């Protein structure tokens, strides 16, 4: 939900930077979301539960799984050097520098987005704490086989982390692939905005003349 919020802000921006950030955020979300969903499934296969209050201390027996969870969670909370950070920064700056909206509105929207940036590490790190830290639950340990991550699972997460980190370090790997189409889209949006906001002789916004719907 947090990631899609940034996508909507970027789509609502009339700047090339914000729109490009929205596209990059969708790509980033696909990679990060896939890795987290995969880890949820892998963890459920071992614990047979999705309730956080039934877990605890799992990291003592599944250290590799804990490392994979930590890296993917840091990617989701937009750690610098990963794709989420670049895309969210592009959306922030693109919307803040967009002249299509008033300054108070831009400040309000970026402020709400900043609250999401603050809340994301809180709930992700709290999830890691409840799953992997603390004392082991005797019932969980006694009735499940908490084997660590297997090479197949490490390979799958690694295949997702390579583009996540690669895009974070060099975003042009992706942005250059859709740069031309994004510039055309932004230029068309700018022409539409100018047509809608062009002042008339009375100083009002120009609007299309009203036409009554035909009954035929």
State residue 197's pLDDT score. 66
Q: What percent of the chain has pLDDT over 90?
A: 49
pTM of the model: 0.81
Q: Which of 197, 210, 185 is nearest to 20 (CA)?
A: 185
**Coil, helix or strand at residue 198:** coil
Dist. CA 3–CA 201, nearest whole Å = 43
State residue 39's pLDDT score. 95
- Print pLDDT tens along the chain (216 aa): 888 999 999 988 888 888 899 999 999 999 999 999 999 999 998 888 888 888 888 888 889 999 999 999 999 999 999 999 999 999 999 999 888 788 899 999 999 999 988 999 999 999 999 999 888 887 787 767 788 899 999 999 999 999 999 999 999 989 888 888 887 887 787 777 777 666 654 443 444 444 444 444
- The string over 119-132, giving b where at least 16 C-beta atoms fall within 10 Å of a residue's C-beta and e elsewhere, is ebeeebeeeeebbb
pLDDT digits (tens, 9 = 90+) for 57-110: 888 888 999 999 999 999 999 999 999 999 999 999 999 988 878 889 999 999
Concatenated DSSP letters for 153-190? HHHHHHHHHHHHHHHHH-THHHHTTSHHHHHHHHHHHH
Q: Which of 190, 213, 168 is nearest to 77 (CA)?
A: 168
State residue 168's pLDDT score. 94
State residue 198's pLDDT score. 64
Indicate left, alpha or beta for 181 from its phi (over 0: left) and psi (-120 to 50: alpha). alpha
State residue 143's pLDDT score. 66
State residue 211's pLDDT score. 46
Dist. CA 78–CA 85, nearest whole Å = 4
State residue 57's pLDDT score. 85
Dist. CA 173–CA 53, nearest whole Å = 41
Give the count of beta carbons closer than 10 Å to the beta carbon of residue 216: 3
- Strand stretches in the chain, DSSP E: none
Q: What is the dihedral of CA 173, 177, 182, 183, to 10 degrees?
A: 90
Indicate left, alpha or beta for 78 from its phi (over 0: left) and psi (-120 to 50: alpha). left
């Amino acid at each position: 939900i947090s990631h899609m919020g940034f996508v909507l802000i970027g789509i609502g921006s009339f700047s090339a930077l914000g729109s490009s950030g929205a596209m990059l955020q969708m790509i980033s979300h696909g990679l990060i979301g896939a890795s987290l969903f995969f880890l949820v499934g892998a963890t459920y296969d071992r614990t047979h539960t999705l309730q956080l209050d039934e877990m605890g201390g799992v990291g003592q027996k599944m250290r590799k799984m804990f490392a994979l969870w930590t890296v993917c969670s840091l990617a989701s909370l937009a750690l610098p050097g990963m794709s989420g950070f670049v895309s969210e920064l592009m959306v922030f700056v693109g919307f803040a520098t967009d002249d299509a909206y008033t300054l108070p509105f831009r400040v309000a929207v970026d402020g709400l987005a900043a609250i999401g940036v603050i809340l994301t590490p809180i709930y992700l790190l709290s999830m890691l704490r409840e799953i992997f830290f603390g004392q082991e639950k005797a019932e969980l340990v006694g009735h499940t086989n908490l084997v660590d991550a297997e090479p197949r699972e490490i390979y799958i997460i690694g295949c997702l982390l390579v583009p996540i980190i690669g895009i974070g370090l060099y975003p042009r790997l992706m942005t250059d692939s859709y740069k031309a189409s994004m510039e055309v889209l932004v230029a068309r949006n700018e022409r539409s905005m100018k047509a809608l906001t062009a002042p008339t002789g009375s100083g009002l916004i120009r609007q299309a003349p009203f036409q009554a719907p035909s009954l035929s």
